[in-house]
Each structure stands twice: as structure tokens, then as C-alpha cells.
Amino acid sequence: MTNPIFKGVGTAIVTPMTKMGVDYESFGRLLNWQIESGVNAIIAAGTTGEGSTLSDQEHKELLDFTVRTVDGRVPVIAGTGSNDTSYAIELSKFACSAGVDGLLVVTPYYNKATQGGLIQSYTAIADAVDKPIILYNVPSRTGCNIQPATAAKLAEHPNIVGLKAASGDISQIADTAALVQGKMDIYSGNDDQIVPIMSLGGIGVISVLSNVFPKETVAICDKFFAGDIAGSRDLQLHFLPMIHALFSEVNPIPAKAAAAAMGFGENYLRLPLTPMEPANEEKLLKLMRAEGLKV
């Protein structure tokens, strides 16, 4: 069995921005609120954090700020994936030197890769660092899918310890869980599949929902781990409308709108992402108000 980087909820945290750059004042408050709300890890500069449009300098500054602000209270996991393996290695090495606790490495996008190419690419990254790696499989965004046999092969590397499963394919995730045999921790990468994936042996979620409802997302996991499967399921189902609203436009557009409505910076995204359509935003805010948030 692995030694998990974290168990429970890792927030794939948004990055508050302005036209001038990262809004570190708002980001610091958001980090502290997340930790005070009980989340188990912070994932910085991932998809939700708009890592793909951060400059190289901004990416490194953001990771350094996150590590210093979190100050060991929970693990910090850095998004360091790229479609260029050499750059992923460079960024991963920096993240390790900055003091992160783990790396979240997405499959190569656009140029894609064969399954053999995935094995070689991930092995090269894992060989180059001294921190544990979580593979990130999200084929709807990357056009590249980590097959179960590939995950099982990669699980043999001592630095590859986890999988963020965001394929949406429960059958594939079940096959992966059967093949890795506890050598790799599996996290739900979709907020609407937290309970189903934990029922297959998953140990938590890398969550967008927890940007807005951290305590409640933690409760979904905690209830499940405590044996209250019905309570966990009921919370999962209760928050489905909110989850659908948070993905009514491409992530992180709705999450950024929600964070801004709660006072964590501006509703500003970098092109090609644009602010949420007004009708969709109003539906999101209405659901947030129904849960007691003053937005």
C-alpha cells in the first residue's frame, strides 16, 4: 500500500487575478479560509487555477507563495504537467525545490501520446524528482487517456503514487482499481462521482466544489470513511445541482464567478476563458444563496 499524500478533499483552488496579475491578497485569504474549513490538501496551479495561462515566472511565484502561506498546515500539491515533457520536468523540479508535498501531472495535451509514450514521459518526470506524483487523467480536455494497464505499469514506479480519475468512465476506473491493487491511490476528479469512486476504493477527491463549499465536501468524504454511506450519498446527491452549475460552462469559469461573489478577488479570467454568461451566473448564485451564502 502507498503512503497517501492526502486522504479526503484536496481543493483544486482558483487563482484570483486582475489585469495586472495574480491577486495575492485575495489568494492568501482564500487559502486560509480553505484550511480553516478543514480541507485536507491544496492543489495549486492546476486546471481550476488557470495554470495553463500563467507565465513561467507567475507559475513559480504562485507555488512559492502557496507553500509559504500554507506553512505546512496541509499538503500542497503543484500542478506541473505540460505537453512538453522537458518543461514538465523543469517545472516539477522547481516545485520540489519550493517545498511542495506532491505533484499533479496531467497527460500531454494536443500532441497527445501513445500508451507507451505516456509510460516513458511519466517515468522521465518521476525519475527527475524526489516528490510523489499524482497522475491526472482528463481525456475530455487533453484528448489523451491513461488506460488501466498503463496506470498499473506506472504504479510500479516508487514516485508515482496516485491517480486523479477524471475520465468520467466508472467502468474504466473500476478496471484501474482492480489492476493497481492498492499500489496507487485513486482520487475522484469529478465532484459528481466522489461517492461512486470511493466505493471502488478511492480515498478522496480533487475538488472544484470545495472552492465554494469546503466543509460540505469534506463531510461527503468523512461520512463515507466513518461508515455512514447513506449520509455521504445523500450529501453527494444534495449538491448535484450545485456541481452541475459549477460545470455549466468550462471549468474554472463558474468557480471563478463563485469565488468573486464570495469576495475572493475579481471575476477575471485570462483569454481564451471569459466571464460566465449572465443567465448561467444567476442560476449559480441562486443556488449559492439557497445554501445560505450571502452573494
Active-site residues, by number, are 136, 164
**Distance (Å, whole) CA 159 – CA 294:** 43
**Distance (Å, whole) CA 147 – CA 141:** 16
Alpha-carbon distances of 109 from 45, 46, 129, rounded to whole Å:
16, 14, 21
User: Is 89 in contact with 130 (CB distance < 8 Å)?
Assistant: no
User: Is 37 in contact with 214 (CB distance < 8 Å)?
Assistant: yes
DSSP 32-75: HHHHHTT-SEEEESSTTTTGGGS-HHHHHHHHHHHHHHHTTSS-
**Distance (Å, whole) CA 51 – CA 15:** 9
Reference 7, options 230, 292, 158, 204; nearest CA is 204
Q: What is the DSSP letter of 10?
A: E
**Distance (Å, whole) CA 278 – CA 35:** 31
β-partners of residue 135 are 105, 163
Helix pair angle (253-261, 278-290), 10° resolution:
50
**Distance (Å, whole) CA 276 – CA 260:** 12
